[in-house]
Structure 1
């Protein structure tokens, strides 16, 4: 039963990521804040996925710590510019974050809105699991 529940949750999370892919997001992942990959829509090997997940969590965690030291609240998201692309990491609740690689031709303001919606969906899915 637990395995079935986790499989169902994973399918729901993958569906959230696949909807982002249709909007200009090239790759995306849902990562625990401790750096463990939950699920992803990306073409990386297992070792690269583990490193990507760990470093994405560390990056967002470091940004949150830096901003909290300045007493400025909690950052909504961080954005890394990589050539013409953007890597966006955003919290999706206290346990997970959503990371997305956006292509150079994507409508970034629209993508931000879609990532906000996706983060809310992810938070609900993860919260249901905790019941």
Structure 2
């Protein structure tokens, strides 16, 4: 019995099985993380496009809201949008006044049968008004 336990025969098969199992786990983790990376990229693009629209029009008005609705339909994201700006009368932003648009979106990060965890993705874009009021 002692000879069988100390024998090195078949050791390569066991090493190969462990390496294959570890490789499959790494690939599964990468596939679970990939949607989160894509959603973060889309959220960054969302913020940049909204920022640019507000820079061009100089206000957070109907054109910006239309752009936000179009982006929500295109990306499938429904972020919470907050503005940090020195608004003039209404939602106007004066020439060269800085503003910041911040977006946050809840995303479920799941790893198959092991569960799902909500994570908050955040994005921020800063711009300045290009219209003189």
TM-score, L = length of structure 2: 0.30
Q: Which has the larger radius of gyration?
A: 2
